[in-house]
């Protein structure tokens, strides 16, 4: 992989036969949270017809089954992909198996940050939600007010929790996502704040390799292409697990790429410290 190059491709068909397995980010590549992109759906259709394995991956805190249900409602049924790996499902699996917080007895007293009720797997994870952080054994962050561009209102809560030695589990390392061309906050900013204040944080999701363990056990590294719209989570993840990557520039980094010349694009990659193998504006066939 050439450092800070990122070869331009106009469509995936140009390189499709170089790979047997695809790890494809959902938000910003396949859909925008409300509708599936027609061009991306066409890509999935063509990959399936060529016998490729497609792993959809997302930092969404819902379970894989719930993500599949939502996608089916948008017209993307399971015949378009092999499986879905979500941050929510991975967090549930790690809690349920005892790999996460193994020293604590269940049910775990949990202070939940989830302003819109996305977390539907509390009972499955054997958690007991408590209203006061002083009685909690951990903080679990799922979703926050999207319009809150500074997490400072959480400082008093977090300082109290840190004094008690309470760890913070962040079930979505994303800091922001693009929603209707507007940046919306995600709980990754809370994880950063908690860490900056001196607290212990466990982040479950991209770019952390734990999200890819099952996939990497199925395929050779050189047979995999990871497709995403974020240098921070997707392309960094590809670097961590040693696979080629394709950056879709119309998603998370759209503002940065909109005015960027080719030279400035290379500077952008250098600033982030990672570079994709390939670059395209939209995922299309």
Q: Which domains does the chain have, with CATH numbers?
A: 7-88+207-280 (3.40.50.1000), 103-203 (3.40.50.1000)
Confidence bin at 1 (pLDDT 50/70/90): very low
Per-residue pLDDT tens for 196-225? 999 999 999 999 999 999 999 999 999 999
Confidence bin at 260 (pLDDT 50/70/90): low
Q: Which two tokens stand for residue 86?
A: 């979500």
**pLDDT score for 64:** 97
What does the longest C-alpha to C-alpha distance in the chain come to? Answer: 56
Query: Phi and psi of 231, rounded to 5°?
Result: -65, -30
Could you tell me whether strands 176-179 and 182-185 are parallel, antiparallel, or unpaired per DSSP bridges?
A: antiparallel
**pLDDT score for 118:** 84
**More confident position, 261 or 144:** 144
Per-residue pLDDT tens for 49-95? 999 999 999 999 999 999 999 999 999 999 999 999 999 999 999 99
Q: Which two tokens stand for residue 60?
A: 């969404």
Could you tell me if 249 and 8 are in contact, meaning their C-beta atoms sit under 8 angstroms apart?
no
- Average pLDDT taken over every residue of the chain: 93
The mean pLDDT value for 10-33 works out to 96
Q: Which two tokens stand for residue 250?
A: 């119309």
Single out the residue of 238, 243, 218 nearest to residue 228, CA to CA: 238
**Whole-number Å distance between alpha carbons of 89 and 91:** 5
**Whole-number Å distance between alpha carbons of 29 and 57:** 11
**Whole-number Å distance between alpha carbons of 282 and 285:** 10
Could you tell me if 59 and 84 are in contact, meaning their C-beta atoms sit under 8 angstroms apart?
no
Beta carbons within 10 angstroms of residue 262's beta carbon: 9
Question: DSSP assignment, residue 205?
Answer: S
**pLDDT score for 5:** 62
258, pLDDT greater than 80: no
**pLDDT score for 148:** 82
**Whole-number Å distance between alpha carbons of 71 and 31:** 9
Q: Which two tokens stand for residue 88?
A: 């929510």
Query: Phi and psi of 135, rounded to 5°?
Result: -105, 10
**Whole-number Å distance between alpha carbons of 285 and 201:** 40
Single out the residue of 101, 54, 91 nearest to residue 208, CA to CA: 91
**pLDDT score for 257:** 81
Single out the residue of 80, 61, 90, 77 nearest to residue 22, CA to CA: 80
Question: DSSP assignment, residue 253?
Answer: T
Per-residue pLDDT tens for 119-178? 889 999 999 999 999 999 999 999 998 888 789 999 999 999 999 999 999 999 998 887
Q: What percent of the chain has pLDDT over 90?
A: 79
Which SS3 state, helix, strand or coil, does residue 213 take? Answer: helix
The mean pLDDT value for 7-16 works out to 94
182, pLDDT greater than 50: yes
268, pLDDT greater than 70: yes
CA distances from 138 to 100, 111, 191, 212 (A): 11, 6, 13, 25
User: Which of 28-32, 71-75, 108-112, 259-263 has the least mean pLDDT?
Assistant: 259-263
Spell 124-160 as b/e; 16+ CB within 10 A means b.
Answer: ebebeeeeebeebbbbbbbbbebeeeebeebeeebee
């Amino acid at each position: 992989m050439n450092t800070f190059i990122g070869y331009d491709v106009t469509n995936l068909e140009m390189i499709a036969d170089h790979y047997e397995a695809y790890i494809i980010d959902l938000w910003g590549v396949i859909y925008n949270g409300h509708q599936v992109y027609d061009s991306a759906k066409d890509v999935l259709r063509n990959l399936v017809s060529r016998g490729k394995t497609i792993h959809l991956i997302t930092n969404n805190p819902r379970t894989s089954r719930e993500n599949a249900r939502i996608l089916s409602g948008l017209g993307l049924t399971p015949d378009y992909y092999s499986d879905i790996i979500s941050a929510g499902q991975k967090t549930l699996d790690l809690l349920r198996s005892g790999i996460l917080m193994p020293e604590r007895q269940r049910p775990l007293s949990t202070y939940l940050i989830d302003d819109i009720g996305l977390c539907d797997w509390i009972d499955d994870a054997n958690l007991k939600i408590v209203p006061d952080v002083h009685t909690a054994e951990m903080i679990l962050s799922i979703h926050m007010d999207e319009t809150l561009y500074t997490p400072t209102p959480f400082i008093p809560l977090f300082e109290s929790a840190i004094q008690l030695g309470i760890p913070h589990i962040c079930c979505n390392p994303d800091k922001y996502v693009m929603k209707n061309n507007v940046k919306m906050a995600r709980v990754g900013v809370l994880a950063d704040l908690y860490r900056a204040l001196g607290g212990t944080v466990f982040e479950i999701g991209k770019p952390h390799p734990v999200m890819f363990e099952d996939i990497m056990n199925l395929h050779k590294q050189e047979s995999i292409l990871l497709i995403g719209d974020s240098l921070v989570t997707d392309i960094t993840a590809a670097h961590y697990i040693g696979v080629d990557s394709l950056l879709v520039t119309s998603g998370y980094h759209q503002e940065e790429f909109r005015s960027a010349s080719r030279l400035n694009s290379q500077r952008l990659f250098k600033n982030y410290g990672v570079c994709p193998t390939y670059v395209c504006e939209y995922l299309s066939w």
